[in-house]
Structure 1
């Protein structure tokens, strides 16, 4: 199968987004294991330190250097809100509410990204994107309701999940302009370092809990840092630099469906019929949101076909 040069960047961005979504979904399974031995702040710090170490080594090997000054504002804001605050708030929130409630509340994040992106970045809101987000959100609600009922939904837990969703959305929108000045690796590395510095007050908890934690919990924490953080946040930044924040946010609606599948395979948690329906809706909505109309898909080909003729037309006129 031959891929045209014009389509190659789009396919690479889609592949990077897919890697991100799969690894972020796997994070929920690992968090469940590591969270039993580590407190929310300690788990966030251990995850960020592991990720920063891997990213730092890669940056040194690639001689990336420091990001340009113009990128630092977006890196700092996304580092504080998304890498730091979001991880602590989400870890804490999931200890207060059941998984279904947490998934339902946090999934307002893509909607907030779309609204903030349209307001602050001038992102377009095409009908297909809005329709896909509506379908995916309905699926997320279905998954959340089907998984709820086994735990309590405290007011504190709901507020923490809301704050996590807001921090996630604001962090994504802040990160987008930074990617116009720095590479995806630079933005991810220094955002991760910023989040780790923010979480340093939890260093004492991390040291104390690491001494007593089972090896499996510590390995899960390291896995969270290396793959769902270092790798997945880099592939996210790579894809985000090549599309709109709203479209990337809609892609993450595939996470609940993949979490259901991974929990089924890894934890023997057999999903019910309603959960499977919700997961299918999530995936269908993502497909719709990332699709393009026939007119939009044909436009690049029309332009490409006309360009070679333009010089000939000019010569004919002369």
Structure 2
């Protein structure tokens, strides 16, 4: 393996491990902060981390010139998805949430088809069908809309995860259409600023009555700095070094780490059905994005 290939391979594994941990940290924080405050503080901490880096790199002028559009996309790229996942993690496991998160490229391809008229070829259409069949299989297993001990029904939690993935798909296509030419760091920073502004008032309204403990605060700092700020830098470096297709493939590895962390640190149970459905979703996603080509070179 050449030195450049070794560098991006290390970044790839490290990014998957970091993003896989985000579900663990969100779960720990949400128990004490609640979903709204957790999502709001995550993006606020990420903003505090990314903004000085953007300014030090001399990209502040570009951020000021395009901040409204970037901030609006940030609501759908970070604010709404993070809120949906923190809500879902009150009821379902971190592993299940991460498996559902692997459908982001599916929704991205579907939104591009419907909105941008970017119709995928037959193999990718097959991938969409396979991927969403896997989602249906997984969701059917959690189809109960009766609240559990957390007060949230598993069915609503699954729908919240899928709404988050749809939001990611919309924001990715919106960024492609309206934010072309902007440096990736500017987009990342502006999106966190937009999400912070959108969630500030709801977070103040739903702020926990009792001050959360140190454990929850440390989890929030980790998810804000490590899983959002540093992860974005790694992601953009991976795109630069290995290309967007390889960077996109990190989505398939995240559930492996998330399931591992959930079992190790939270004592979560992984069923065979979850693994089967996860494999179907990953295969469908790989087909729909062109990373897996029937009869061709993957």
What TM-score do you get using the length of structure 2 for normalisation?
0.74
SS of the counterpart of 2:31?
coil
Counterparts of 1:159 and 1:138 in 2: how far apart (Å)? 15
Matches within 5 A, 1:31-46: 31-46=26-41
Q: Alpha-carbon deviation of 1:107?
A: 5.9
CA contact (8 A) 2:105 2:285 kept: no
Partner in structure 2 of residue 198 of structure 1: 198
Q: 1:69 to 1:31 in 2, by over 3 A?
A: closer
Length, aligned pairs only: 287
Q: In 2, Cα distance between the equivalents of 1:175 and 1:145?
A: 33
Q: How does 1:149-228 map to 2 (within 5 A)?
A: 151=148, 153=153, 157=157, 160-177=160-177, 180-204=180-204, 212-228=211-227
Matching of residues 107-118 of structure 1 within 5 Å: 109-118=104-113
Which residue of the partner structure matches residue 60 of structure 2?
Answer: 65
* Contact 2:46 2:225 (C-alpha < 8 Å) held by counterparts: yes
Coordinate RMSD, CA, aligned: 4.1
For 1:168 and 1:265, the matched residues in 2 are separated by 28
* Rounded Cα–Cα distance in structure 2 between residues aligned with 1:84 and 1:58: 21
Q: CA deviation at 1:193?
A: 0.9
Structure of greater relative contact order (alpha carbons < 8 Å, 6+ residues apart)? 2
Q: Match of 1:258?
A: 257
- Unaligned residue ranges in structure 1 (runs of 5+): 298-318
Alignment partners' CA distance in 2, 1:248 and 1:121: 22
Based on CA coordinates, which of the two structures has the bigger radius of gyration? 1
Contact 2:100 2:162 in 1 (8 A): yes
The 1:91/1:233 distance shift into structure 2, 3 A limit, reads same
Q: Note the alpha carbon deviations across 1:109-133, whole angstroms, 9 max, x for none.
A: 4322102223445656355545555
Counterparts of 1:293 and 1:104 in 2: how far apart (Å)? 23
User: Gaps spanning 5+ residues in structure 2: where?
Assistant: none
